[in-house]
Amino acid sequence: WQSCDGSFVVPLELASSSVQTLQVRLVGTSQVNFDVDNVSLTIQGGNPDVLIVDKEIINRWAPGAELLITSHTTNFDDHQVRRIVEVDPEYHDERFARIVLDQPLPKPTTELDSTEFAVEVALLSRNIVWESGSDASELEGGHFWVFHTGLKQHIEGLEIKGFGVQGTLARYPIHFHFCGDANGSVVLKTSVRDSNQRAIVVHATDNLLVEENVAFNTLGHAFVLEDGFETGNTFKGNLGAYTRAVNVLIPDNGFNGIETDNLPATFWATNPSNHWIGNVAAGSEHSGFWFELKLRGTAAHLFQSLDPRYESLGSFLNNTAHSNFDRGLRTYPEGYMPYETAHLLGFTSYRNKKQGLFFHNTENMLIADGLFADNGVAVDLDRSENITVSRTKIIGRTELYGELESSQEAPSLCYNNELLGMELHTFVRKTKNNGAVLDVAFDGFNSVHCARVAHISLDNELRIGTFDWFTTLERVSFADQPVLIDFCPAAEAGIVDAYLTDLDGSFEANPDNKKPRSIISDSDVMTAFLGEDEECTRIPEGCYAYCDVCFRTIRFEVDPSGSEGYELEVCTKTRSKCIRIAGGTDPTDYATSSTNYRVFNVHLPAVENSESSGFNAAFLLDDEPVWPNYVEQQYEDKLCPGGLDEGTVELHPPPLFDSACDSLIRNGDAEAPDRLFWLSKFTGVSTVANAGMAGSTALKDSIRTSPRDSLVQLLDARCFRSTVMRSYEVEAWVKVVDENNEHQECHVEESNCPEIRIATATQIWPSIATVVPERGENGGYQLLHGVFVVENSMTDSNMVEFIVMRNRVDFNILVDNVSMKLLPDIHSNEDFCSEIVRNGFFADGSARFWSQSNAIMELVGGPSNFSLQVSDGQARASLKAGCFASREYYQVQIQYKIRVDGKSFQCDPLNDPKDLCPTAFLLSYTDGSFVSAQVVAKSLESSEEEEWSWLLGLFVASSDQSNADGLLLQMDGLNPSYKYVINFASIQPLPKSCRSNILVNGNMEMGTAVFWDGVASSVTTVSPGFDDDVAMLVSQRERPGAGPRLNGDFFDTRCLKPAVMLQFEAQIKLVEAGTENPALCDVASIRTAVDACPALRFEVEDAFGNIVFAELLRSYPGVQNWVADGWNEFRAEIHLP
């Protein structure tokens, strides 16, 4: 007799069949008879109907109660529900109890198989049952509110079945609603099952404890933090399983936004500042844990400064996610970017169909003491950076799951025919961030039969076409060999410059060699500069090489617009080796972001320090040197001690050609295609045909998000280094329009008009050009104009932005004819400083070079003679820098009149209120900082016959003014109740000529007697004078010595030197007081005589006001007898001591 035996696993289809047949056949022939004896079929093992569980269930779980056994595969619905038949009283064990079930179940993973991956067993039944009535539809059920109460609530031991109203907001099985601080309240040991919508929802409630609850067969998110401002709540020891998608979403009511219960998460959080401890998400149709961080709801306006994406994590400790169809944990799409590193500690994620952990748009995270196994992708770091994975184990496929695949036909782990340990990104979202720090133990990858298997893989997503997701490996181990690294997806997408830094050589696992090394793309751009001694092991099937060298990256950011086709050439100093690198930009249209630069990343190995070591770099276009307007060179972090030193790469710009800096704005008329050279901040840039000045093309900001929306052009920073202390004239025409491009008024007094700014990386110069009056209608366009002085502080920056800011959010702007032109300076021509005020006479019919400080300006007058009308503030005129010489004299003239109710009148400084007559100040600036202010002209009395009033003055320039790079003439003290019309403003140097008249306005050439004061008398002008012009009339004399006085501020004291002889001359006529009748005097009389002719007194004072020299002069050498009805010549000489 021959003995035959074997084991047989009953397939599912046979177990469910109503007829079974056992056949015994002799395999191989049908011609031989045989005898059969002792046939037996014995159960050796299989689907059990008994569970051994913790003994604590004794006297708590009873026959008739229902149990949940969670899924043990990657299927989210492979759970089992069984009823207890018996809790075996005869089973004697100090630790366990024996439960008999009403039906067998497929053998789950138990703690005998693995303490890490055993299924959970949970009691679904409770003694207190709330259940929706039989009349409820499949979408409707009851709902339980804890509503607007601060009282402590204790909810424990409920079984809630069929609650929730699907598609209706605020209708959930358990709902804490606007309870504020719920410290002391608890939801404990409650079972929520067969829910129509969610399970336990915490809404506008803080510090609630949700502990040891079960949510089974629920639709939508299960354990929920609803609106993004809930904090301090604790979810501890809860279990959720069979979390399914809803059929009907809660609609958007204008406050809640689009709900995501069709992509359900067992634990769904909108704010991270809460606590998740020891929870299990065991089978969701989508995700186990989902941090969908956002602020919403009717009370969101109370938390306007709150953005949950940046808030600190309360705690996330010893949580588990398994058997979820999509991800164990995810942060998609809003991401999570806390300012303080968030710690995910002790997280276990296994048997999830897609990813065990999926970070998206996330940064500053620590995953420590984690375990990931049997996932399609264990850890996927997508658009995420500054991630640390520490003391974590990643298993591709466990032996236990392999047995499930063969014995129970468990689903394959090959999601999309791939099995990956870690999938890493190739680019960072923020340039100052790095990728990841990895301290991981890998196992279980070499026994998997998927099309693609890798311990570590780079993904194939592109942004700028170059690698900058810098990552280090340390204490990494690979239990199975060979190590499977896959750079091919990135290489196929065009990323051929990737590298990972192996800090301790753990990739090779050679205990005798702990030297840092690099895993690099096997490409010419990465290997070109490797020396003969730097060995590389090439792995073609992984598209990488493992090299005995450290790399470091130098990042070059350039202006994205106008730099298409540029290459960066990098060569050794001796040009023995060179590479050329193409730059890349985000596929997102650069017109929507001024920070979307074109990036050139150069990854270089360390070089020895010597005179010939290092690299040169230059930008080329068609093999010719070129220069982008903006270039920023940055050395990325040195990832290992042997990395490249800063300063090793020298960038060489081509020389500036003549006149290159005369005009800085390119495509200012918007006629170049594709809005060339224009970028934006917070908005988009588009062009509109036939909408510009005179029907030309105009630029338009196409998106409105905030008043700070701006059109931007990057300027050539080299020009600012070569034109320091020089002035640029800035001009643009803007038109405020609605969505139909219809003109809308902007009002300067409401601060809602556009303006132009200049900005570097560290500083902003606001309002360098603002709306100024301009003649004509101009089709609704208004002129932005101003003068900008290049300051020393700008020369250190490589980035200079020219910004046209909208300053309002309700309308768009059209922009045309933008320019920034270098103004002539003192070296331009010999007449440059003959008139120092720019546009002081408004000759071109505009208020160019004039600005207002809280003032409203408008042009008045005819087409050939314009004046500037100012109200409510100060008027400022730009002056030419470099025209003031220290200790030299300058004359100031401002002609103005005052208007109110359509009528004009003069200013009388002697009789009018002090706040009516203005004063002129000269303001000095250096490097943009205010230095000093000096009164340079005052309002003087005018004759009744004159229409205009005068601000006049003579001043000596100070060193502040001669050294200033910015100068303003400010007309100050304007009374807000009146309007002031400025006819012209002038500052001219006072020529030094000691052989001509050194008195200012001595012959009344200004048409008025300004600068002369009346001592005990009144000084006005009359006509005709000696030369048929005007003369000074001295009247209302109170004593014999009363008369006009000209102090030293109004004549050129530079000519007063020791031993100098001065000759005084004047033409004098006398009239009787109060009449026009001629009067006589005695030329020969002395001073004390009543009939003495006028005399002149000359005094010199020291710095303390003491008279150190004085002389009285009375001399009419050519007059024998006084001519009563004519002019009499006074002439005298004084010899200074």
Read out DSSP for 875-889?
Answer: EEEEB-TT---TT-E
456 pLDDT above the threshold of 70: yes
Does the model's pTM come out above 0.85? no
476 pLDDT above the threshold of 80: yes
Q: Give the per-residue pLDDT at 327.
A: 98
Q: What is the pLDDT of residues 518-560, one digit of tens each?
A: 999 999 999 999 877 668 999 999 999 999 899 999 999 999 8
Whole-angstrom distance, CA of residue 939 vs CA of residue 911: 12
The token pair at 46 is 């299989």
More confident residue, 954 or 399: 399
- Could you identify the residue written with the tokens 């249209």? 589
pLDDT band at 19, cuts 50/70/90?
A: low
Q: Give the per-residue pLDDT at 681.
A: 80
Q: Give the per-residue pLDDT at 1010.
A: 67
More confident residue, 885 or 609: 885
More confident residue, 600 or 1012: 600
Mean confidence (pLDDT) of the chain? 89
pLDDT band at 1049, cuts 50/70/90?
A: low
The token pair at 807 is 């300053």
* Average pLDDT estimate for 901-923: 82
Which of 157-166, 253-262, 597-606, 1046-1055 is predicted least confidently?
Answer: 1046-1055
1001 pLDDT above the threshold of 60: yes
Alpha helices in 449-515 (DSSP H): 488-493
* Average pLDDT estimate for 673-692: 86
Percent of the chain residues topping a pLDDT of 90? 55
584 pLDDT above the threshold of 70: yes
Whole-angstrom distance, CA of residue 531 vs CA of residue 877: 64
Percent of the chain residues topping a pLDDT of 70? 94
Whole-angstrom distance, CA of residue 857 vs CA of residue 850: 9
Q: What is the pLDDT of residues 389-408, one digit of tens each?
A: 999 999 999 999 999 998 88
- Give the largest Cα separation in the chain, rounded: 176
Please report how many Cα atoms fall inside a 13 Å half-sphere around the Cα of residue 442, on the Cβ side: 30
Which of 346-350, 589-593, 1096-1100 is predicted least confidently?
Answer: 589-593
Q: What is the pLDDT of residues 33-79, one digit of tens each?
A: 888 899 888 877 778 889 999 999 999 999 999 999 999 999 999 99
The token pair at 150 is 């601060």
More confident residue, 611 or 847: 847
410 pLDDT above the threshold of 80: yes
- Cα–Cα nearest to 386, from 291, 471, 313, 468: 471
Q: Give the per-residue pLDDT at 592.
A: 46
Exposure string for 506-536, b = 16+ CB within 10 A, e = fewer: bbbeeeeeeebbbbbbbbebbbebbeeebeb
Which of 99-103, 225-229, 761-765 is predicted least confidently?
Answer: 761-765
511 pLDDT above the threshold of 80: no
Q: Point out which residues pair with 858 in neighbouring strands.
A: 869
Asked whether the beta carbons of 700 and 781 are under 8 A apart, the reply is: no
The token pair at 351 is 């048997």
1057 pLDDT above the threshold of 50: yes
Which of 340-349, 673-682, 1076-1085 is predicted least confidently?
Answer: 673-682
For 969, list phi and psi in degrees, rounded to 5: -100, 115
For 1096, list phi and psi in degrees, rounded to 5: -125, 135
The token pair at 1076 is 């026009």
Measure CA of the first residue to CA of the last residue in the chain; give whole Å.
154
Q: Are strands 121-123 and 66-69 parallel, antiparallel or unpaired?
A: antiparallel
218: Cβ–Cβ under 8 A, 6 or more apart, which residues? 173, 192, 193, 194, 195, 198, 199, 240, 242, 243, 244, 264
pLDDT band at 591, cuts 50/70/90?
A: very low
Please report how many Cα atoms fall inside a 13 Å half-sphere around the Cα of residue 265, on the Cβ side: 24
Whole-angstrom distance, CA of residue 777 vs CA of residue 374: 73
Q: Give the per-residue pLDDT at 991.
A: 77
pLDDT band at 590, cuts 50/70/90?
A: very low
For 13, list phi and psi in degrees, rounded to 5: -65, -30
Whole-angstrom distance, CA of residue 1011 vs CA of residue 1047: 8
Q: What is the pLDDT of residues 804-845, one digit of tens each?
A: 998 888 888 999 999 999 998 877 777 888 899 999 998 877
Q: Give the per-residue pLDDT at 174.
A: 98
349 SS3 class: strand
pLDDT band at 509, cuts 50/70/90?
A: low
For 14, list phi and psi in degrees, rounded to 5: -75, -35
pLDDT band at 311, cuts 50/70/90?
A: very high
Would you mind telling me the total number of residues written for the chain in this entry?
A: 1137
298 pLDDT above the threshold of 80: yes
Q: What is the pLDDT of residues 1061-1109, one digit of tens each?
A: 888 899 999 999 888 899 998 888 876 667 889 988 888 888 788 888 8
pLDDT band at 967, cuts 50/70/90?
A: very high
* Average pLDDT estimate for 367-392: 97
pLDDT band at 661, cuts 50/70/90?
A: very high
Asked whether the beta carbons of 635 and 552 are under 8 A apart, the reply is: yes
Read out DSSP for 378-447?
Answer: EEEEES-EEEEEEEEEEESS-HHHHHHHHHS-PPPS-BTTEEEEEEE-S--SSTT---EEEEEEEES-TT
pLDDT band at 454, cuts 50/70/90?
A: very high
878 pLDDT above the threshold of 80: yes
